[in-house]
Amino acid sequence: MAKQRFTAFNEALNRAPLEYNGHNHPKYSEVFGINVFDRDKMRCYLSADAYESLITSIDEGRRIDRKIANQVAAAMKAWAMEQGATHYTHWFQPLNGATAEKHDAFLSIDKDGKAIEQFKGEMLVQQEPDASSFPSGGIRNTFEARGYSAWDPSSPAFILDQTLCIPTVFVSYTGEALDFKTPLLKSLTALDKAAVSVLEYFDKDAKKVFATLGWEQEYFLVDEALYNARPDLALCGRTLMGHAAAKDQQLEDHYFGSIPARVTAFMRHFELEAYKLGIPVKTRHNEVAPNQFECAPIFEEANLAVDHNQLIMSLMDRVARQHNFRILFHEKPFKGVNGSGKHNNWSMMTNMGVNLLSPGKTPKNNLQFLTFLINTMKAVQNHSALLIGSIASESNSHRLGAHEAPPAIMSVFIGKTLSAVLDELEERVSDQKMTPDEKTELKLDIIGKIPEILLDNTDRNRTSPFAFTGNRFEFRAVGSSGSCASPMIVINTAVAEQLNAFKSEVEKIIAKGIKKDEAIIQCLRKVIIESKKIRFEGNGYSQDWIDEAERRGLPNIQNPIEAFKTFLHKSSIDLLTENAVLTKRELEARYEIRNEIFLKKVQIEARVIGDLAINHIIPTAIAYQNVLISNVKGLKDLFPKEYEQMGDHQITLLHEISEHIHQIRKQVDEMIDSRKEANLVENVVERARLYSENVRPHIESIRYHIDKLEMIVDDEMWPLPKYREILFVR
Query: Per-residue string for binding with ligand ADP, 303-342, x by CB under 6 A?
Result: ----------------------------------------
State the nearest-atom distance from the C-beta of 341 to Mg ion, in Å: 9
Helix segments in 579-720, DSSP class H: 584-612, 618-638, 643-646, 648-679, 684-690, 696-712
d(CA 722, CA 715): 10
- What does 463 interact with, of Mg ion, ligand ADP, none (CB < 5 to 8 A by kind)? none
Considering only residues 214-233, where is the footprint of ligand ADP by CB under 6 A? 214, 216
State the nearest-atom distance from the C-beta of 467 to Mg ion, in Å: 9
Q: How far is CA 412 from CA 380, 473, 702, in A?
A: 8, 9, 38
- Cβ proximity to Mg ion, 344 vs 397, nearer residue: 344
State the nearest-atom distance from the C-beta of 344 to ligand ADP, in Å: 8
State the nearest-atom distance from the C-beta of 264 to Mg ion, in Å: 22
d(CA 628, CA 93): 55
Q: Helices then strands (H, E): number in the chain?
A: 27, 16
Sole binder of ligand ADP in the list 298, 529, 623, 712 (CB under 6 A): 298
Nearest CA-CA partner of 473 in 354, 375, 392, 565: 375
* C-beta separation of 594 from 687 below 8 A: no
Among the residue ranges 209-217, 596-604, 619-627, 703-711, the one whose residues contact Mg ion (CB under 5 A): 209-217
State the nearest-atom distance from the C-beta of 96 to ligand ADP, in Å: 26
* Residue 358, beta-bridge partner list: none
Give the burial class of 716: count Cβ atoms within 10 A of its Cβ; 0-12 exposed, 13-18 middle, 19 or more buried. Answer: exposed
Angle between helices 363-382 and 485-511 in degrees, nearest 10:
120
- Cβ proximity to ligand ADP, 472 vs 689, nearer residue: 472
Sole binder of ligand ADP in the list 238, 268, 472, 503 (CB under 6 A): 472
- What does 350 interact with, of Mg ion, ligand ADP, none (CB < 5 to 8 A by kind)? none
- What does 214 interact with, of Mg ion, ligand ADP, none (CB < 5 to 8 A by kind)? ligand ADP
d(CA 704, CA 240): 10
- Cβ proximity to ligand ADP, 476 vs 698, nearer residue: 476
Provide the Cα torsion 616, 622, 623, 625; round to 10°: 140
Considering only residues 198-217, where is the footprint of ligand ADP by CB under 6 A? 212-214, 216
* C-beta separation of 157 from 119 below 8 A: no
SS3 134: coil
State the nearest-atom distance from the C-beta of 727 to ligand ADP, in Å: 22
For residue 116, which phi and psi values (nearest 5 degrees)? -135, 160
SS3 321: helix
Give the burial class of 57: count Cβ atoms within 10 A of its Cβ; 0-12 exposed, 13-18 middle, 19 or more buried. Answer: middle
- Cβ proximity to Mg ion, 101 vs 216, nearer residue: 216
State the nearest-atom distance from the C-beta of 211 to ligand ADP, in Å: 8
* C-beta separation of 729 from 636 below 8 A: no
Considering only residues 116-175, where is the footprint of Mg ion by CB under 5 A? none
**Does the CA dihedral 510-515-518-521 come out positive or negative?**
positive
Q: How far is CA 453 from CA 103, 469, 470, in A?
A: 48, 11, 7
Question: Which residue's CB atom is positioned nearest to ligand ADP?
Answer: 214
- Cβ proximity to ligand ADP, 167 vs 470, nearer residue: 470
DSSP class of residue 455 equals: T
State the nearest-atom distance from the C-beta of 359 to Mg ion, in Å: 20
Query: Per-residue string for binding with ligand ADP, 345-374, x by CB under 6 A?
Result: xxx-------x-------------------
State the nearest-atom distance from the C-beta of 531 to ligand ADP, in Å: 21
- Cβ proximity to ligand ADP, 299 vs 718, nearer residue: 299
Q: How far is CA 22 from CA 18, 261, 385, 677, 730, in A?
A: 9, 11, 49, 57, 18
- What does 212 interact with, of Mg ion, ligand ADP, none (CB < 5 to 8 A by kind)? ligand ADP
- Cβ proximity to ligand ADP, 137 vs 214, nearer residue: 214
d(CA 726, CA 291): 9
Give the burial class of 161: count Cβ atoms within 10 A of its Cβ; 0-12 exposed, 13-18 middle, 19 or more buried. Answer: exposed
Enumerate residues 6+ apart whose C-beta is below 8 A from 199: 206, 209, 350, 368
Q: How many residues bind Mg ion (CB under 5 A)?
A: 2
- Cβ proximity to Mg ion, 266 vs 466, nearer residue: 466
Provide the residue count of the chain: 730
Among the residue ranges 211-219, 261-269, 402-410, 591-599, the one whose residues contact Mg ion (CB under 5 A): 211-219
* C-beta separation of 202 from 283 below 8 A: no
Is residue 283 a contact residue for ligand ADP (CB under 6 A)?
yes
DSSP class of residue 480 equals: S
Among the residue ranges 153-161, 196-204, 336-344, 370-378, the one whose residues contact Mg ion (CB under 5 A): 336-344
Considering only residues 340-359, where is the footprint of Mg ion by CB under 5 A? 343
State the nearest-atom distance from the C-beta of 294 to ligand ADP, in Å: 7
State the nearest-atom distance from the C-beta of 138 to ligand ADP, in Å: 36
Sole binder of ligand ADP in the list 296, 320, 599, 618 (CB under 6 A): 296
Among the residue ranges 115-123, 213-221, 245-253, 376-384, the one whose residues contact Mg ion (CB under 5 A): 213-221
Sole binder of ligand ADP in the list 88, 202, 219, 299 (CB under 6 A): 299
- What does 283 interact with, of ligand ADP, Mg ion, none (CB < 5 to 8 A by kind)? ligand ADP
Among the residue ranges 295-303, 388-396, 431-439, 685-693, the one whose residues contact ligand ADP (CB under 6 A): 295-303
- What does 347 interact with, of ligand ADP, Mg ion, none (CB < 5 to 8 A by kind)? ligand ADP
* C-beta separation of 214 from 298 below 8 A: yes
State the nearest-atom distance from the C-beta of 306 to ligand ADP, in Å: 12
d(CA 711, CA 266): 34
Q: Which residues bind Mg ion (CB under 5 A)?
A: 216, 343
Q: Which residues bind ligand ADP (CB under 6 A)?
A: 212-214, 216, 283, 296-299, 343, 345-347, 355, 471-472
